[in-house]
Amino acid sequence: MPRLLAAAFVLLLISPVNAADFYVAPDGKPSAPGTRDAPWDLASALAADHFLQPGDTLWLAGGAYKHLDRKTTGFGFPVKLAGRKDKPVRIRAGPGQRVTIDGGLSVVAPATALWIQDLEILVSENLTRPRVTKQTGSSPTDLDRPWGGLNVHAGADCKYIDLVIHDNAQGVSFWKGATDSELYGCLIYDNGWSAPDRGHGHAIYTQNQDGLKTIADCIMTGGYGYTLHAYGSKNAYVDNYLVEGNIAYAGGIFLIGGGRPSRGIRVFRNFLHGVSMQIGYDAPENEDCEVRGNVVVGGLDIKRYKKVVNEGNVVVGPDAARAKGALAVLRPNKYDPLRANLAVYNWDKGAEVTVDASAWLKDGQAFELRNPKDFFGKPVQQGRCQAGKIRIAAPTEFSAFVVLKTP
């Protein structure tokens, strides 16, 4: 081969391929080309049977994708797609589409640099059958339905964004093999089951050793177990977490700690109501934590840390006297400019609360509020921003909403 042609051939091999869009539908086929008119099926697309390249996007058409394995041990569709940190592979719901993954997703090697966004994950059996077992422990065999949820066993530099995760055995299982990865903006509620010994299944169960694991701007409520269960025995690691901007209410304990000493724990500006926060568990001592700017109605306990930064936290016991007025916190979504989370502490329980939205909404901008537990349902309120303010009907002591900009 002439030298010039050989050089051109090598350059072709090493040059990045332009990012491409591919399509999946509930009635797609593994033999299809993955176009909008001839989409793939979900299982083959997620299993990397079609050789997606870094930077590619996999668009999922609206509808339900039901995994065929309905055994108790079923974790749903394996995800093996791999991108690069600067060119992640993206899995997204089509614009305006409700995409329901029935049975769960399981992120396994060689998955890396993967972004999964805007999907709903559930187990449909839990919508119609009781979630009560006669067996104790964490692995009952008599519930006769999949485990479901988002199960992340592997993958560096991955992001799980704006997912709606509910009515699974466990919402998110975010394990040590997932490094430098982020769970962001997810709505996680009503996961778990009831057993003779206690409630089981958590909104998030996570462990981490290397790299930074980020859990940010999620809304969590309900369920049978803990809200956040960053926990392990003395043989597991609970290190290097950034937990920021989450809203949790009417749920179990918000825990970070285990039997092995923890280090690198940062817990900033989370908003809890009816949920206690505990940093540290039964390790004889822990290394370092920063707990700043949190609002906790339910109690805060920081256990056995050598170095503690405990600053700017507002902690109100369940029976303590309340402040006057209201506190409203609006947190814009960093991946979706049309979306924000809103937490409202209405201490006086007045019929309405005024929220300063001037940093996010322009005057005259229309908005709507969505119930985090019914995101795909009808808005609970609609209105327009006036003089940088929005007025929210929130007569109870605490409310949480997803706020959407609308035309």
242 burial type by CB count under 10 A (0-12 exposed, 13-18 middle, 19+ buried): middle
Would you call 184 helix, strand, or coil by DSSP? strand
Q: What is the pLDDT of residue 318?
A: 86
Q: What is the mean pLDDT of residues 366-383?
A: 98
What are the CA-CA distances from residue 167 to residues 27, 74, 126, 183, 312 (Å)? 25, 15, 6, 18, 35
Q: What is the pLDDT of residue 7?
A: 39
Radius of gyration of the chain (CA): 22
Backbone φ and ψ for 43, nearest 5 degrees, come out as -60, -50
What are the CA-CA distances from residue 250 to residues 224, 272, 325 (Å)? 11, 9, 22
Express each pLDDT in 214-261 by its tens digit: 999 999 999 999 999 999 999 999 999 999 999 999 999 999 999 999
pTM of the full structure: 0.95
Round to the nearest angstrom and report the end-to-end CA distance of the chain: 59
Domains observed in the chain: 18-316 (2.160.20.10), 326-406 (2.60.40.1180)
Structure tokens at 216: 């940010």
Range of weakest confidence among 31-35, 304-308, 317-321: 317-321
- In angstroms, rounded to a whole number, what is the distance separating the alpha carbons of residues 355 and 394? 11
pLDDT at 14 over 70: no
Give the burial string for 211-221 (b: 16+ CB within 10 Å, else e): eebbbbbbbbb
pLDDT at 38 over 70: yes
Q: What is the pLDDT of residue 261?
A: 98
Q: What is the pLDDT of residue 2?
A: 40
74 — pLDDT class (breaks 50, 70, 90):
confident
**Of residues 340, 368, 291, 62, the one with CA closest to residue 185:** 340
- In angstroms, rounded to a whole number, what is the distance separating the alpha carbons of residues 147 and 104? 7
Q: Where are the beta strands (DSSP E) in 21-124?
A: 21-24, 57-60, 63-66, 77-79, 89-93, 99-102, 105-107, 114-117, 120-122
pLDDT at 53 over 60: yes
* Residue the block writes with tokens 């692995």: 139
Would you call 161 helix, strand, or coil by DSSP? strand
Would you call 107 helix, strand, or coil by DSSP? strand
Express each pLDDT in 324-342 by its tens digit: 999 999 999 999 999 999 9
Q: What is the pLDDT of residue 13?
A: 42
Question: CB of 400 within 8 A of CB of 343?
Answer: yes
Question: CB of 151 within 8 A of CB of 106?
Answer: yes
Across the chain, mean pLDDT equals 95
Query: Can you say whether the dihedral through the CA atoms of 278, 282, 284, 286 is positive or negative?
Result: negative
Structure tokens at 21: 């869009």
Q: What is the mean pLDDT of residues 78-92?
A: 98
